[in-house]
Amino acid sequence: MMTSISRTPICATSSAFRLMIDRTVSAAVDGSCASHSIVTAAMSSFIRRGTAFWLPTVAGSVRERSVRREPWLTLTVTQGDRDEHVVVLIEGPADIVPLPEVPADVRAAVTGDWIAAWIRIKAERMLSYASEGALP
């Protein structure tokens, strides 16, 4: 079950939220727990399908190893600045999905021979915030 908390009226069904999250390919900072409980952060593109967020990854990356060891990720998606900013935090269980098992439309959205697998995050928790100037 996905939960959403909003400090200013932005929710998963609002136009501001959809414009930000549902771009064909979006970028976020994802956080995972590396060895010895050290939190790591990395920039990543992502694709959203329903409540799942898909992140392409290279084979053997720190992020891939972290997800295999500790299958939970946090995404931070931001847009805008100062009086016109939006921030969405997304958390949930994550798994590594081999290329043949990734939906074709997700694979087609980000291409490159560097993509060895995809990380799927099943959003269970979400916190969103928008400054009043960012709302339509």
10-residue stretch averages of pLDDT, the chain, 136 residues long: 42 52 51 60 81 89 84 81 75 93 92 92 83 64
DSSP structural state of residue 36: G
Between the two ends of the chain, the Cα-to-Cα distance in Å is: 28
CA distance 8 to 118: 33
CA distance 81 to 46: 21
At the fourth CATH level, the homologous superfamily of domain 3-134 is Electron Transport, Fmn-binding Protein; Chain A (2.30.110.10)
For the chain, what are the domain ranges? Answer: 3-134
pTM, two decimal places: 0.73
Of 122, 132, 24, 13, the residue nearest 75 (C-alpha): 122
